[in-house]
Amino acid sequence: MRDTIKHRGMRNNLAEVLANKGIIDEKVLDAIREVPRHLFLDSSFEAHAYQDKAFPIGADQTISQPYTVAFQTELLQVSPGQKILEIGTGSGYQTAVLLTLRTKVYTIERQQELFKKTKLFFGKMGYRPRKLVFGDGYKGLPDEAPFERIIVTAGAPEVPKPLLAQLSIGGRLVIPVGIEDQIMTLFIRKSEKEFEKKELGNFRFVPLLENKN
Ligand code: SAH
């Protein structure tokens, strides 16, 4: 598969659809216009890649719907050079959106099959996260903490404590919380002990799975 003018046109339309759904951050919309989502999917989905829909990516997982990616990215309020932790690399699409915004991304995936596939794909595409880790995102990445931004791209039954602990003061954590469906939740770290919490609408994610071993 290649990236063509036709794909670019479809991405421009997608950005417009997302703007109509309420995404206002032009930098986020520009990243959506830039990242070739069809290349993150199996070729059988190519014709549909720029619809605002989630699709299977193997290992029972899905690539998030573009609106969800844009909504979470907008909530994060990233600026270039920021250090970001992502839980749930999956297809790598959200990672690529964050890299396009010139941030330093550390990303964790717990499914080996997806981890390997996305690692190869990033190499081929020239996407360079600071770290692509095979592991349990519940624990975060204590050795690399603190992070200015943390994004969780799977539904968390509860907020993992290590993630709050690994957020820098002034930092933002965006996490969908819930079991059947999830409430998008934003935490802003005000001080060592205080977090401001905002709830921002309902979404549906695949579950964040804790590694019990
Ligand atoms: N950001 C991805 C979304 C993938 S769906 C994309 O744009 O494609 C959520 C991903 O979270 C899945 O790949 C799933 O395997 C992963 N995941 C679930 N529980 C996890 C955990 N505890 N640690 C890290 N990744 C996890």
Question: Which candidate in 43, 44, 64, 168 is catalytic?
Answer: 64
pLDDT given for residue 175 in this prediction: 98
DSSP the chain: ----HHHHHHHHHHHHHHHHTT---HHHHHHHHHS-GGGGS-GGGGGGTTSS--EEEETTEEEPPHHHHHHHHHHHT--TT-EEEEE--TTSHHHHHHHHTT-EEEEEE--HHHHHHHHHHHHHHT---SEEEES-GGG--GGG--EEEEEE-SBBSS--HHHHHTEEEEEEEEEEE-SSSEEEEEEEE-SSS-EEEEEEEEE--PBP-----
Percent of the chain with pLDDT over 70: 99
Ligand 1 and 163: CB distance under 6 A:
no
Q: How far is the CA of 63 from the centre of ligand 1 (A)?
A: 9
**pTM (two decimals):** 0.97
Q: Note whether residue 58 is domain-resident.
A: yes
Question: How many distinct structural domains can be found in the chain?
Answer: 1
Domain membership of residue 199 as a residue range: 54-203
Instruction: Check if 91 is active-site.
Output: no
Q: How far is the CA of 209 from the centre of ligand 1 (A)?
A: 9
Q: How do the pLDDT tens digits run along the chain, 213 residues long?
A: 899 999 999 999 999 999 999 999 999 999 999 999 999 999 999 999 999 999 999 989 999 999 999 999 999 999 999 999 999 999 999 999 999 999 999 999 999 999 999 999 999 999 999 999 999 999 999 999 999 999 999 999 999 999 999 999 999 999 999 999 999 999 999 999 999 999 999 999 999 988 755
Give pLDDT tens digits for 17-37.
999 999 999 999 999 999 999
Q: Note whether residue 86 is domain-resident.
A: yes
Q: Which atom of ligand 1 is nearest to the CA of 154?
A: 9
Q: Which atom of ligand 1 is nearest to the CA of 136?
A: 23
Ligand 1 and 73: CB distance under 6 A:
no
Residue 124's CATH number: 3.40.50.150
